[in-house]
Amino acid sequence: MCRRISSFAVCILLSGWLAAQTDTTKNTGSTTSAAQPASADPNTGGGAVGPHDNSYIIGNDDVLSINVWKEQEVSRTVPVRSDGKISLPLAGEVQASGQTPLQLEKILAAKLQSFISEPEVTVIVTEIKSQKFNILGQVNKAGTFPLTSSLTVLDAIALAGGFRDFAKQKSIYVLRQNPDGSEVRLPFNYKDVIKGKNMAQNIRIQPRDTIVVP
């Protein structure tokens, strides 16, 4: 009799323990799932400019994704040619360089109105190739580089493969063009910056900047 009662008691205890473990697992699973960050959008890449943007100026060699709603035969991805124009079915030759995506959307919509009722056009700059900077002098890979993101002087030096043996790392400077055509010379002391001194020298590179490493 005692054995039966003991066995029954053990069964009750085991059942309660298993139920508690199941609830704990569920709660833990829910907490873990909620705590996980949302995965990054794989389509969000650096160097792209979205539709309706009225700040970025399209330039030669940029690649544009043009979508006309419900008109797949007209929609396509096109490069901006060296003359600053693009070719699009029905719209023909269109000046893209010097326009913002929003301005180009309006221009294309106006040209397509003769063929499509109330055309809805979106323009996305999928590849920014018009914005470039130069780095010259005592670096391993001097030349012209695309400015595809917010690069600093340190980033630019890294892209150029670092310094050659006799580079004057304290005498680097950036030549920047002003809107009036004049140039300003901005000093950059590499030795100071890597020590955390005068970090304001590590400026953001702008289109057509030239970094000189003596």
Q: How far apart are CA 209 and CA 177, in angstroms?
A: 7
Place of tokens 């009799």: 1
Q: How far apart are CA 183 and CA 76, in angstroms?
A: 40
Quote the number of domains for the chain: 2
**pLDDT score for 150:** 82
Both 153 and 188 in one domain: the answer is yes
Tens of pLDDT, residues 121-169 = 999 999 988 889 999 999 999 999 988 778 999 999 999 999 999 999 9
Q: How far apart are CA 188 and CA 191, in angstroms?
A: 9
Both 123 and 136 in one domain: the answer is no
**pLDDT score for 47:** 62
| CATH at residue 157 | 3.10.560.10
Both 120 and 187 in one domain: the answer is no
Average pLDDT, the chain: 82
In a domain, 100, yes or no: yes
In a domain, 206, yes or no: yes
Tens of pLDDT, residues 98-125 = 999 999 999 999 999 999 999 999 999 9
Both 120 and 140 in one domain: the answer is no
**Domain of 114, in residue numbers:** 63-127
Q: pTM for the complete prediction?
A: 0.59
Kindly provide the residue ranges of all beta strands, DSSP E only, lying in 54-164, ordered along the sequence: 63-68, 76-79, 85-88, 92-95, 121-127, 132-137, 143-146
Give the H/E segment covering residue 39: none
Place of tokens 């920014």: 128
Paired strand residues for 204 = 152
